[in-house]
Amino acid sequence: MARRRQIYEGKAKILYEGPEPGTLIQYFKDDATAFNAQKKGTINGKGVLNNRISEHVFTLLGNIGVPTHFIRRLNMREQLIRQVEIVPIEVVVRNVAAGSISKRLGIEEGQQLPRTIIEYYYKDDALGDPMVSDEHILCFGWAAQDELHEMADMAIRVNDFLSGLFAGVGIRLVDFKLEFGRIWDNDFSRIILADEISPDGCRLWDMTTNEKLDKDRFRRDMGGEVEAYQEVARRLGLMPEGADSSVLDLEVHRKLRDGK
Ligand code: UDP
């Protein structure tokens, strides 16, 4: 059998050609990077957890009518997705001050923001993903005005839904990053949610202890990354009963259950 074609390799995922035109396979790696890839590492089992968490979140978002690229999960590390033309903008939504906004503006981490903030970053590794305004996005044609509106509206919908979902399991959704893509239908395009939603791109804090259950554990050398990601999966009801010791248990358990 011919080896399938790799379309793209990013920091945490690989995209392969899909089984049908217009589809891709998204493979979740264990690689982790931070600070514009200056810090690199591996978190054993992260890819499996992110694949499962992202499947769950995208499925729920699809159920409330948010259009996404997700089609279905294929196995432990892969999902089938719709091929999109990625909009080169990272959309960050913030409910609580943390990370770069705290650093840049001197706002204490953990401070609830008086209103939700949306920020845009231009996806360019060489430039270190600089923050840009809607003026820049329109001026340089990275997205059109109606697309920008659509992305902001969807980001707010996703925020409202996810804030409630996580609050229901005792987790505060501090901030998160979204990516969007265009799908073409003859001469017309529309915007759908792409990429992934997982503890790699969200800040998730335990509501009572403020314990970090996200990639900040890696960024800040705190350790316990896999345990934190597992805890998120567990609270979302995604871990098999009794399998909380190691993600390898999860892998073995599922392989046995699924017969693969
Ligand atoms: N984020 C991301 N990818 C990036 C930059 C940020 O997923 O390239 C996420 C990050 O995990 C956090 C939110 O976006 O949940 C806001 O990140 P921030 O601007 O505070 O940057 P950081 O402190 O991560 O450098």
Mean pLDDT value across the chain = 94
- The domain locations on the chain are 85-206
Q: Is 172 in the pocket of ligand 1 (CB under 6 A)?
A: no
pLDDT at residue 147 above 80? yes
Q: Ligand 1: distance of its center to the CA of 118 in Å? A: 12
Hey, what are 143's tokens? Answer: 């997205």
Strand arrangement of the beta sheet that strand 13-17 belongs to: 6-9, 13-17, 23-28, 78-82, 70-73
pLDDT band at 233 (very low <50, low <70, confident <90, very high): very high
Work out the angle at residue 46's Cα, subtended by the Cα atoms of residues 16 and 196, and round it to the nearest 5 degrees. Answer: 55
CA pair distance 71, 79, nearest whole angstrom: 7
Is the pLDDT at 252 greater than 90? The verdict is no
CATH number of 85-206: 3.30.470.20
| CA 2–ligand 1 middle distance (angstroms) | 38
Query: Ligand 1: which residue has its CA nearest to atom 24?
Result: 99
Q: Check pocket membership of 97 for ligand 1, CB cut-off 6 A.
A: no
Give this prediction's pTM: 0.93
Per-residue pLDDT band at 240 (split at 50, 70, 90): confident
